[in-house]
């Protein structure tokens, strides 16, 4: 598969570590964007102890619930800065087959 093949591109979830504030403890916040506007942005956060994988799963579950979709995490996380930010590929099951073929 070449990078010019549309199946080579999949949506992603970005998970960031957010430190403790006066009102919230440390947590992982996941964001899934399906467009440029705020109406196309889905977010979920989980406690720090749950980890970034749980945050990614939570935002995909929220996306599925809102849109009646059946998306999943397609592969392993990519560490973008050594531990505070992760990217997860996500999408339909057909993309799982396309990205692993």
Please report, for the chain, the start and end positions of each structural domain, with discontinuous segments joined by +.
11-96
CA-to-CA separations, 67 to 8, 14, 35, 63, 70, in angstroms, rounded: 23, 19, 14, 6, 9
Query: What whole-number distance in Å separates Cα of residue 54 and Cα of residue 48?
Result: 10
Tell me, what's the pLDDT at 85? Answer: 96
Query: What whole-number distance in Å separates Cα of residue 86 and Cα of residue 82?
Result: 9
Tell me the pTM.
Answer: 0.83
pLDDT in tens, 61-100: 999 999 999 999 998 999 988 889 999 999 987 655 555 5
Tokens found for residue 70: 């059946």
């Amino acid at each position: 598969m070449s990078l010019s093949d549309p199946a080579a591109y999949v949506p992603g979830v970005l998970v960031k570590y957010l430190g403790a504030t006066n009102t919230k403890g440390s947590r992982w916040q996941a964001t899934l964007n399906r467009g440029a506007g705020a109406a196309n942005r889905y977010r979920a956060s989980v406690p720090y102890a749950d980890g970034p994988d749980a945050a990614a799963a939570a935002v995909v579950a929220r996306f599925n619930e809102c849109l009646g979709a059946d998306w999943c995490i397609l592969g392993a996380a990519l560490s973008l800065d050594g531990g505070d930010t992760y990217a997860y590929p996500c999408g339909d099951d057909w993309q799982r087959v396309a990205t692993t073929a």
